[in-house]
Amino acid sequence: MSDPARLSPPLRYDGAGRTVLCAVGLALRPGVFDLALENGRIAAITPRPGEAAGWLCLPPLADLHVHANRAFTLETPPPRDFEHAIVLTEQLFGDFDEARYAAQAGRFFNQALAKGTTRLRSHADIDPASGLAALRGTLAAADALREALTVEVVAFASALMDPAEAAARAVLREAIAAGADLLGAVPALYRDPRRSIEALLELAQELDVAVDVHLDEHLDARRCHAGDLARATLARGWQGRVTLSHGCAIAALPEARRRAVIASLAEAQITVVMLPATNLYLQDRGQGTPRRRGLTCGLELARAGVALRLASDNVRDAFYPYGNGDLLDIAHLAATAGHIDDPALLLGGICDGRTDLAVGNAADLLLVKGAGFGEAIAERPAQRVIFRHGVMVPSPM
């Protein structure tokens, strides 16, 4: 996000003391509009016939799957494959303390804010060696930016913190007490994934928190557990409080089973987060030219009624050596590699389901230089200005 003072966004102040965004486009509506902001809300949306928009006004961007405490930490050659990335991460974080985690998370938060994101969900690594250091560091970094950025923190149980084990559950309880908002885990790396899924949901009910699970981050249809997650969610009545992140193996299922699994996810009201950057990079890696895209089946999920979100995942760490926290880049990847050409799906994917603005909405907005949403995805312009509660947010960079 460039400095608003240098961008000259199309603002004026009317006689009623309202801030007016002049002659802006709205992503999915034809035409040009003035948006009046008052008392932290959108007070009016007025058409401006015959004018051309120089700026696009979007709902607030929400990046619902990131690993902020790992960001910008890659100090080795890129990973050979997913398993090698896990090894590199474990080696790297052996000497990290709370302050170092906070520094990495803070750098990522400022980067995301500069790209126009004002809401994040970050998975904080928890394992026996580091304990809650990553969680506490992430919370500290989030608190430093609380006026500009809303951060949900997931207590993310590592490969050595199986929720099926009492000791791991005790640490996760401590993490929620320390300020984590959700529980997370990686069932594929535990001895009995189904048992671990059940244990995680049982703990979530005990603590009355939502769940965000790394699941099916591989392409082996025989080890796909998305259906198990849906069944466990329905059995416990936890509909609407579970997120499945990655879901790559769903796309590898035979058609009949794939349809059944997707239907069960829709019934269980499980949100699926598609992570195109990291999954394109790591899946089917190490065998020469990749033959499979490694992405979950976003279009099929969305058409079946599953809430589909698009997120950054890793930024310049052992799992993905590139990336910059820009959700317009992520939308571009999803459109290109996942064939998600529907503008409403792309916009909803990076705005937590929001696709439009209405009178009465909170005046949390993103202005992007350009005339339309397609242009914004194609060019990912650097000129962006955030409004939060109707007030322009200074650039952190």
pLDDT at 397: 63
- Give the C-alpha separation, 226 to 213, whole Å: 10
Q: Do the domain assignments include residue 238?
A: yes
- Percentage of residues in the chain with pLDDT exceeding 70? 98
**What pLDDT, on the 0 to 100 scale, is given for residue 280?**
96
Inter-residue contact 367 to 361 (CB < 8 Å): no
User: Could you tell me the end-to-end alpha-carbon distance of the chain, in angstroms, rounded to an integer?
Assistant: 8
Rounded to the nearest 10 degrees, how much is the dihedral formed by the CA atoms of 289, 280, 243, 223? 10
327 and 374 share a domain?
Answer: no
- In a domain, residue 147? The reply is yes
> Which amino acid would we find at residue 101?
Y
Buried residues in 190-201 as b, exposed as e (16+ CB within 10 A):
beebeebbbbbb
What CATH number is attached to the domain comprising 40?
A: 2.30.40.10
Residue finishing a domain among 317, 334, 350: 350
Domain identity same for 299 and 377: no
Return the biggest CA–CA distance within the chain. 66
- Tokens found for residue 72: 């910008």
Percentage of the chain modeled with pLDDT above 90: 83
Query: How far apart are the C-alpha atoms of 254 and 198, rounded to whole Å?
Result: 25
Q: Which of 16-20, 22-26, 86-90, 190-194 has the lowest mean pLDDT?
A: 86-90
Q: What is the mean pLDDT of residues 144-172?
A: 96
- Give the pLDDT score at 103: 97
The answer to whether position 299 is within a domain reads yes
Number of CB atoms found within 10 A of residue 234's CB: 16
DSSP assignment of 77-113 equals SPPSSHHHHHHHHHHHGGG--HHHHHHHHHHHHHHHH
In a domain, 233, yes or no: yes
Nearest-angstrom CA–CA distance, 352 and 297: 18
Structure tokens at 261: 């699994």
Confirm whether 280 is domain-assigned.
yes
**One domain for residues 45 and 66:** no
Same domain for 266 and 343? yes
| Cα(69)–Cα(317) distance, integer angstroms | 10
Q: Is 311 helix (H, G, I), strand (E, B) or coil?
A: coil
On the CB side of 243, CA atoms within 13 Å amount to 24
Angle subtended by helix axes 133-144 and 98-114, to nearest 10: 40
Within this chain, do residues 373 and 247 fall inside the same structural domain, yes or no?
no
pTM, to two decimals = 0.94
Q: What number of other Cβ atoms are within 10 A of residue 249's Cβ?
A: 25
**In a shared domain, residues 331 and 236:** yes
Q: Which residues pair with 203 in a beta bridge?
A: none
Residue 269's closest CA among 224, 299, 308?
308
Residues 107 and 174 in one domain: yes
For residues 366 and 348, give the distance between their C-alpha atoms in angstroms, rounded to a whole number: 14
Q: Is the pLDDT of residue 287 over 90?
A: no
Residue 98 lies in a domain: yes
pLDDT above 80: residue 151: yes
On whether both 162 and 267 belong to a single domain, the answer is yes
**293-302 pLDDT, tens per residue?**
899 999 999 9
- Residue 397 inside a domain? The answer is no
Question: Domain range holding 50?
Answer: 4-59+356-392
Asked if 94 and 167 sit in the same domain, the reply is: yes
Say yes or no: 258 and 157 in one domain: yes
How far is it, in rounded angstroms, from Cα 114 to Cα 393?
Answer: 10
Q: Examine the domain organization and report whether 383 and 265 are in the same domain.
A: no
Mean per-residue pLDDT of the chain: 94
The residues with which 47 forms a beta bridge, in sequence order, are 33
Check pLDDT > 70 for residue 7. no
Token couple for 5: 């003072």
State how many domains the chain has. 2
DSSP 195: H
The vertex-220 CA angle with 216 and 222, nearest 5°, equals 95
Indicate if 168 and 268 belong to the same structural domain: yes
Q: 226: which DSSP letter?
A: H
